[in-house]
Chains A and B, each alone.
Chain A
Amino acid sequence: MTVPMPMRSKETGVPRPTLSARHIGKAFGSHVVLKDVSLDVERGEVVCIIGPSGSGKSTFLRCINFLEVPDAGGVWVDGERVGCQEVDGALWEVPSAVLARQRAAMGMVFQRFNLFGHLTAVDNVALALRLVKRMSRPAARQRALSVLASVGMERFAGHRPAQLSGGQQQRVAIARAVAMDPKVLLFDEPTSALDPELVHEVLSVMGSLAGQGMTMVIVTHEIGFAREVSNRTVFMDGGAIVEQGPSADVLGQPSEPRTRAFLSKIK
C-alpha cells in the first residue's frame, strides 16, 4: 500500500510537521483497533487525545514510536520515516539500531511510569544518556541532575522508584524522557495511575514543558489540562478520529454528538 508522503514542499518553505502519522491501521487478530488514523503535529504544538477507553488512543500513541507495529500507514518524524524503509518498491523494517535511534528522538511517558526498579532516580535518567548518547559517566550524571532539578526532583536523585510516590516517579519518568532531548514527547495517560492528590504536580511539570515549547502528544482524561495547556484536542472513538480542533472549541462547543456525550459523562 502506498501512502502519500506528508512532506510539505521545501520550495514553498512551509515547515513540514515535526510528527506526522498517516493512515495508521492496527488490528489485534480480528479485533480492529485503529482505522485509518492520521495526525500531524507541528513543532511546539501540544495535542491532547481524548476518548473513551478502548477507542484506540493508547494504541495509536504506541504505533507512533513502534512499540506496536502498525499494520497500515506510516509515521514520520522531521520527515524521516519511523521503523520502515522502502527498498525496491517494498516496505521493510529498518535495522534495529536505526529504530533505536528513531525511538530515542521520541520521548515516551507511560501510565505506570515504568521506571527501572533497580536504579536510583538519577541513574534512571542517566542510563540512556550513557548507553545511547555515549556520554561519560560524570557528564551523564550532571545532565541527569539538572533535568531532575527541572522537574523538582533533584532532592530525590538518590532514591529508588520504590521509595517515591507515584507523582514523584512520574516526574522522574518525564525527566528520563526529556533528558534525551527528544523532538516530540508522547504521554500515555500519564496521570491515570496516580492518586488524585498527586495529579497536579505531574500536570504542572507537563504544563511548564509545554510553556518551554516542547512538542507533545498527550493521551489523557484531564479535560481541564487539555483546555488550558493544549493547542489542539483530538477526540477518538471506535478506532478513528471523530473530531479535532482548537481545544477551546472541541471541549467548549463540540460539534459531534459523540464528543458531547463523552464530555458530559466525564465532567
Chain B
Amino acid sequence: MKSTISQGIRDQAFLSGKPKPLGRGKRAIVTAIVVALVSALALRVIASGAINWSITFGFFLHPAILDGLVMTLELTALAMIVGVLLGIALAVMAISRYPAVSAASALYVWLFRGTPLLVQLIFWFNIALVFPVVGIGPWQVSINSLVTPFAAALLGLGLNEAAYMAEIVRAGIKSVDSGQSEAAVSVGLNRRQVMNSVILPQALKVIIPPTANQTIGMLKNTSLVSVIGAQELLTKTEDIYARNFQVIELLIVASLWYLVLTTVASAFQFWLERRFGDSRAIEVIAGVQP
C-alpha cells in the first residue's frame, strides 16, 4: 500500500515555488477601514473651525516659545546628568559590602520612586518652609534666594531620575559576568579599579539603551515643572494663552515641539543602539579608553 501512495505522489505533476500568503484580501480591507477612520478624525479636528491654525503657526517660532524650548533642553540635559551620576553612585552603594550603605541606597530608591514626581517638585519648591536658612557659622543664606524655580526643578527632576537610573545601572553591573571581576582582582586590581576599568565600561552596553529611554521621558516630564513656574516650554505656552486665550492653538504649538524633540531623540537612540554591534562605540561614549 505504502509504495503505491508514494508512487502516486511522485508521478503527479506539481506546482513549485513560494506559496502566496493567505489573507491578502483581508489586509486590504483592514487598511482601508483604518485609513478611513483616522483621516475622518483628522479632518474633523482640522476642519472643525474651532482651531485657528494660523495662530498655531504664528506662535511656532515665537521668541518666548523658543526661550522655553531652550530651557526644556537645558533642564533635560542637567537633570539627566544629575540623575546618571547620582544613579551610578546609588547603584555602587547598593552592592556595597556594608549593609548600612546598601540600605541607604534602597531607602533612597524606595522614597523617590514611591512618591509622585509632581509632589516632589512642589516639595522642593517649598523647601524653605522646612529649612529657612542654610549655612555655617556667620555665613547664612536664605533658602528662598537659593531655591529658584529653576533650582527646584533641577533638584526635583534630577533626584527623582537618580532613583530610576540606580536600578538601571545596578542591572547593568549585574549583567557583567563574575569572571570579569575575578580576572581583574587576580591581576591585582583593587575594588575601585575593578569597578571603573572593568565592570562599568562593560555594563554600559546594558545601561545606555534604557538611559536613552529615560532621556526621552525626561523631555516630557520637564513639562511638570510648569506648576512651579520654571520658564520651560509649557510654562511659556501657558503664559501666552493666559493673555490671548488661544489655549488649544498654543497647546498644539507645545505638543508639536515635544514631538520634534522626542522624534529627534528617538532617532538618536536608534543610532546609538545600532552602534552597539561595535563595542568600540562604548568607549567613545564613555571616554574610558584604557
Contact = CB atoms under 8 A, between A and B. Distances in A.
B182 A67 contact: yes
A110 B183 CA distance: 8
A132 B187 CA distance: 8
Nearest to B191: A96
A115 interface: yes
B175 to A, nearest CB: 11
Contacts of A132: 187-189, 193
A118 B188 contact: no
B188 A180 contact: yes
A109 B193 CA distance: 20
Contact of B183 (A97, A104, A105, A116): A116
A100 B197 CA distance: 15
Contact of B193 (A126, A131, A162): A131
A191 interface: no
Contacts of A103: 185-188
Interface string A105-120: 1111010101111110
A177 B187 contact: yes
B188 A100 contact: yes
A128 B290 contact: no
A160 B185 contact: no
B180 interface: yes
Contact of A110 (B179, B193, B198, B202): B179
B283 interface: yes
Contacts of B52: none
A143 interface: no
Interface in A113-172: 114-119, 123, 126-128, 130-132, 160, 162
B184 A116 contact: yes
A82 B183 CA distance: 18
Contacts of B197: 127, 131
A244 interface: no
Interface residues of B, number: 23
A128 B190 CA distance: 10
Contacts of A126: 290
A215 interface: no
Contacts of B183: 108, 110, 114-116, 173, 176
Given A112-B179, A118-B282, A67 B185 contact: yes
A118 B283 contact: yes
B279 interface: yes
A132 B283 CA distance: 21
Nearest to A66: B185
Given A117-B202, A160-B279, A176 B187 contact: yes
A87 B137 CA distance: 44
Interface in B99-135: none
A114 B191 contact: no
A216 to B, nearest CB: 15
Contact of B185 (A100, A105, A115): A100
Nearest to A115: B183
A67 B187 CA distance: 12
A8 interface: no
A86 B24 CA distance: 81
A128 B191 contact: no
Given A118-B201, A118-B282, A123-B290, A128 B187 contact: yes
Given A127-B290, A131-B193, A160-B279, A116 B186 contact: no
B279 A104 contact: no
Nearest to B183: A114
Interface string B174-215: 000101101111111111010001100110000000000000
A127 B288 CA distance: 12
A66 to B, nearest CB: 9
A119 B290 contact: yes
Contacts of B179: 110, 112, 114
Interface string B226-263: 00000000000000000000000000000000000000
A106 B185 CA distance: 11
A14 B66 CA distance: 83
A107 B187 CA distance: 7
A101 interface: yes
B195 to A, nearest CB: 12
B290 A104 contact: no
A-B interface, 6 closest residue pairs, ranked by CB to CB distance from nearest? A104-B188, A114-B183, A128-B187, A108-B186, A114-B179, A132-B188
Given A107-B186, A112-B179, A127-B197, 9 more contacts: A65-B186, A96-B191, A104-B187, A114-B182, A116-B202, A118-B288, A128-B187, A132-B188, A160-B279
8 contacts: A67-B186, A100-B190, A108-B186, A110-B182, A112-B179, A118-B202, A128-B189, A132-B189
